[in-house]
Chains A and B, each alone.
Chain A
């Protein structure tokens, strides 16, 4: 069990690359196009290695690389560490590297994108903490490895938390209704605007690792039933892509309102009822 998680954490850039390639195909098919080959992200990877990197200043480039390693480290801590919260907090730290890098250059797109990235953190992270609490209430442990050994299905006890999490996935992965921090037609990618060549590669790959992070959380909702988890993440994957293709970008006010006044109460209600049922009744 533990070795599977360790392998996933170690190979997460490659797994994430495949997920991203598959996603690009699915998205293209939804738009009635053929789409790129499955290995397209890796072709991009090789291409970016052969470009001349233009550095704005060395601190900015270093923050890009730190973002990649911190994300990878956060995922490893999440999967193999003793406590799910450590993984979530390290994930916030990784985003902090990205944000500081975005603030350190003069480009207005980059600064604007970093500001919006902070809004993303504000909207999503409380929900992730509540999710961890909910999983703890059901499984009785903080360790992800133990959670994967839980024989029941936590999804049955945490339906509202799951719905809230699925609706928050677009904000974590920067997808369409909530892609305000990397609005591609508006602020040209936000904080990643000034990275090029090898340094953009780090950002590009870190995004793939986020996919593994998100789908690992989806897997947590099915406990030890891995086949069910696979089916569930496939459904979530299709749903998120359909949402991405069929909605337009919201403003950050709308995102914050949706996250704080709809998603958070939803998750909190579920946890409240569960705690009452567990400890009081």
Chain B
């Protein structure tokens, strides 16, 4: 479906970045790079967005929100990690308050390097994300990375007992449990 590719809507989330990458993302929507000519709009609403653009290393305060936004986006969806921080932790790597990159929490499809990532690179990253997005359908099941091990264990157990597996429900339950746990104890653990 090439028509779908012509209207990706973006959700931009800042997981505690230094704002350098966010400004570059905003520069993409300005007159010089003008992403709207490809039909890209910056939608603030996860329920109507297709591409999640994340910047920043995931801080302990933002990780539950990041998961929540990711779960609220309807499939098919892709994630683009913009900036060195979002890819690996960048200059903040191994600090006491960060989680060294987005992919520890949610599956990332495209990594855009650079500190700060240049607008050209971000556009290229989104173009690559669109190709991945085209292959996904509305029945794709995406498993957040944090709960992947638990999820596999539960599914294996259920299959062993011959039960019907409702994958979406298992993921939903695990994530909401995780979010509740993290929101209840917002201090560093």
Contact = CB atoms under 8 A, between A and B. Distances in A.
Interface residues of B, number: 25
B20 interface: no
Contacts of B177: none
A51 B39 contact: no
B176 interface: no
Contacts of A31: 31
A184 interface: yes
B7 A193 contact: no
Contacts, number: 80
Interface stretch (A41-49, A88-96, A162-170): A41-49
Contact of A196 (B7, B31, B44, B74): B74
Range for the number of chain A residues in contact with chain B: 20 to 34
Contacts of A36: 36-39
B7 A43 contact: yes
B1 interface: yes
Interface in A45-97: 46-47, 50-54
Given A40-B39, A43-B6, A196-B47, 9 more contacts: A33-B30, A37-B6, A43-B3, A43-B7, A47-B4, A50-B1, A50-B76, A52-B76, A52-B139
17 contacts: A32-B31, A33-B31, A33-B36, A34-B37, A35-B34, A35-B36, A43-B6, A44-B7, A46-B4, A47-B6, A47-B50, A50-B137, A52-B75, A52-B76, A53-B74, A189-B45, A196-B48
Interface of B: 1, 3-4, 6-8, 30-31, 34, 36-39, 44-45, 47-48, 50, 72, 74-76, 137-139
